[in-house]
Amino acid sequence: MNCWEHAASEQIMARAVAVCVHCGVGLCLEHATICEEVRIHRNGTGAPSRLLPDGREICCSTCHGAFSEAVPAHEALPR
- Phi, psi of 28, rounded to the nearest 5 degrees: -90, 175
Would you give the DSSP letter of residue 46?
A: S
Determine the pLDDT at residue 76.
Answer: 66
Would you give the DSSP letter of residue 43?
A: -
User: Full-prediction pTM beyond 0.75?
Assistant: no
Residue spans of beta strands (DSSP E) within 1-79: 18-19, 26-27, 33-41, 49-59
pLDDT tens for each residue of 24-73: 999 999 999 888 777 777 777 777 776 777 778 899 988 888 877 766 55
